[in-house]
Structure 1
């Protein structure tokens, strides 16, 4: 049964508590300790951008271009529209009820403990895998620059540094992510400026292609409308990671105002950076020259005669990987902490340091990445790609949870606590239903496509396992008199 609406950060799900639950254990604060709300609006804004602008854009966009040709921009537009609807729903709920567990807490409130348990652990498991994959990918790039240093050692040092940074304080994470995201944003702005200049014929020695790459070589839709759907399945996963902003909002000084400003700012900037840079690519680069696995950004810069374009984008991709790893470690640790505070994970993970950092949860979230270093060294390029298959549909299942929770909580808030609705998503409930329908549609397309069917299968299996675990927990609670 859903919990009554309250602004408490991590709710219990009982409708009428019979006893006040004990607070999660914390270390004794020291004099002069930093307040919990030490993330600033600038941190949240750049975190929203950094969480979405990753290696999937800089490298993965080449695969989409090859699949759909210039029409890949339509695929990106559809994926962006879906992602931004989800971000709007997340922003509204986070502003009304800020919580470190974000959509997991909202699902707990709206749908019941089973939904909060399942979505929370799903996010944690997938994010832990993502940390490992990003770590190994970053170590591979660094190993190419320093071939004399073993890849496993580079990965170990990098992970140790980021783990320590997340354990130190919330503000240290915020500053690191601010500068990482800032570099990625600066790179895209420079790329957009060069692209527009090249299109206008303002780059010395480079002739403007005009509309030739859009109308020639088979036209705007060289592979037909079906390619737009295929492209959507290729690019939609590049928009994952935005949910971390609503977790971080709970640790800001003014959660409602901070998340409102960050979400509004991120929506138009993500649209500009994603769609703008893709527009530059399809205008300047012949679609049939794109090579899957090779960044189209490098190809465009090479065509413009920019020296060292490959190494320049390689640096940006490395920063994107480290940024994503840092954000995912933060998100996974906050989700583990939230689950522990709600009694859905070991209580030890609810402990926080005197600076407000959940050190045990950070260590637990980084543990799999440490293990992955050994696995990758023993079976290089075999273990992690296998685990990555479980990530494909998991993001969509989490987005579907967001839509379901929003449809329930928005009505409850309007009825029981309208004063908490400081941000209102326009077009409710139609846009919420549209988002839910869009997510289900993408899942069905994955089931039909042989290339993504396996990913959906592994993701669905993971969801079923977690649902079974939630059922076992519910039975245990009934027998023990818990919630």
Structure 2
């Protein structure tokens, strides 16, 4: 394998606003430390945690905690690997550029476009979810109009400057963090009987074992739970893309990587633990009202449903905002590497990749239309065909780190500021875990279609990448120049 190129040759490390030496069409370092810190803290808190945990609890009971712990451990290890590479070579394309350098252009092309596809489909999902909540508050405005309004506002924010994105995300993320921290504190006070006026008498930790034991549906339900919660962790890798537009990307990545353990432990395991201790896992209200609303209702918190709707709306808007940012930066990186239209790799005077943003949001608008027009056919196909992309991304990160680590140790060991633990054993163990989850999904009736359709789309994208790679080699051989 050839030496790793400098990130500046890839256009990955941003210039600073007003710096005359900044390369043309480069991103600007417009994100402040507080922006990146909050994105890192709240990046793991997706809307899926608030609305998706109920189905996991219903399937596995209290054992869902083990499912969250297993997936959380896998994400911690993947983030450690990604943090190692990002701290050594900060880049706007993150793992896509690293795969390009370490595994080949076909790998960077394939995983970059698959990741972009995942996030533009997520835009449609989140816009529809947000529109549903807003329509419930103001029914005079139809859902499609709310979806349009939300998409336009956040598109305008992303088009203005990266600092506008950062400011929006700072406040969205801040509300999520405050909300879930408050939920955990209030819940634990109720669990220990210290919450004044609580309708729920102190029960300690009895609910963890009272309704059929800790494993009411058997040990196999842990794996079922893994399949149900794994995709709620998607998004933790966003901070490595955002760090590329901060003034000190290495410090931002290092800090985010080192804090991922406590973030997952507190926000995921902590909040779900509180839900399971406040009421029995098989309480009908968990599925009917949602796990967090049911928990708040159980201790007499007034207007719990509306409070949680506001928090979920914030999480949805945060996901929309960061999803549009992530998709556009991946498209920008692909454009810079000639793996997408060249216009995607161009920026405005304020360092914003406008063409990449507009192309991403345009596909998002089309997907929203599909969601309203053909929700059970066309949109269902889009949703299922992007469903396993998260696992593909994590798998590529692992394989890339295996090769990039050895190259860095040989050529630039001083850049290994963040190091993967017990390399290469934990890397291989994580690869085995991800492959196991993918194979296990094939045995699950609900997840099988997602894996098969995602594999189909991935195969098509990889085939396109290999054809392009073959064309480049032939052109290079014919002209004797690089293409």
Q: Give the secondary-structure state (helix, strand or coil) at the position aligned to 1:201.
A: coil
Deviation at 1:51, TM superposition (A): 2.5
| 1:180-232 Cα shifts (integer Å, max 9, x gaps) | 01100100111011111011111224301223211211111111100111111
Contact 1:133 1:384 in 2 (8 A): no
Q: Which residue of 2 aligns with 1:306?
A: 301
Partner of 1:16: none
Q: After superposition, where does 1:387-402 map in structure 2 within 5 Å?
A: 387-402=382-397
Larger mean CA deviation between 188-197 and 376-385 belongs to 376-385
> Kindly tell me: are residues 140 and 10 of structure 1, through their superposed partners in 2, closer, same or farther at Cα, counting changes over 3 Å?
farther
Partner of 2:112: 120
**Does 2:280 match 1:281?**
no
* SS at structure 2 position matched to 1:139: helix
Gap change, CA 1:374 and 1:238, over 3 Å in 2: closer
Distance 1:397 1:53 in 2: 21
Would you say 1:57 and 2:56 are equivalent positions?
Answer: no
- Equivalent residue in structure 2 for 1:263, among 241, 244, 257: 257
> How many Å apart are 1:392 and its aligned residue?
2.1
1:302–1:382 Cα change, 3 Å: farther
Counterpart position of 2:3? 4
> 5 Å matches for 1:333-344?
333-344=328-339
Name the residue aligned to 1:95. Answer: 87
Deviations 1:257-299 (A, max 9, x none): 1111122223312221111111111111211115447420000
Partner Cα distance (1:418, 1:31) in 2 = 30
- Residue deviations 1:372-409, cap 9 Å, x none? 33333433565433321122211101100000000110
Describe how 1:412-427 pairs up with structure 2 within 5 A: 412-427=407-422
1:230 aligns with 2:224: yes
Partner SS, residue 410 of structure 2: helix
Structure 1 unmatched runs, 5+: 12-22
Counterparts of residues 365-404 of structure 1 (less than 5 Å) = 365-379=360-374, 383-404=378-399
CA distance in 1, matches of 2:254, 2:368: 39
Q: Tell me the TM-score normalized by structure 1.
A: 0.93
Q: Give, in whole Å, the separation in 2 of the partners of 1:140 and 1:460.
A: 31
Query: Equivalent residues in 2 for 1:165-314 (5 A)?
Result: 165-203=157-195, 204-205=197-198, 206-290=200-284, 291-292=286-287, 294-314=289-309
In structure 2, what is the Cα distance between the partners aligned to 1:313 and 1:379?
29
What residue number does 2:60 align with?
68
The question of whether the paired residues in 2 share the 8 Å contact of 1:337 and 1:350 is answered with yes
Match of residue 130 from structure 1: 122
Q: Which moved more, 1:252-261 or 1:284-293?
A: 284-293
Residue 459 (str. 1) matches residue 459 (str. 2):
no
SS at match of 1:371: helix
Are the counterparts in 1 of residues 62 and 208 from structure 2 also a CA contact under 8 Å? yes
Taking only aligned residues, the RMSD between alpha carbons, in angstroms, comes to 2.0
Secondary structure at the aligned position of 2:101 is classed as helix
The separation in 2 between residues aligned to 1:167 and 1:181, in whole angstroms, is 20
The number of aligned residues is: 468
Q: 1:241 to 1:35 in 2, by over 3 A?
A: closer
For 1:162 and 1:10, how far apart are their aligned partners in 2?
31
TM-score (ref. length: structure 2): 0.93
Structure 2 distance, partners of 1:238, 1:226, is 20
Q: State the distance in 2 between where 1:333 and 1:49 align.
A: 22
1:137-181: CA deviations, max 9, x gaps? 111111111111111111111111111111111111111111101
Change (3 A) 1:10 1:388: farther
Residue 77 of structure 1, CA deviation:
0.3
Maintained 8 Å contact 2:3/2:407? no
Partners of 1:109 and 1:31 in 2: how far apart?
A: 28
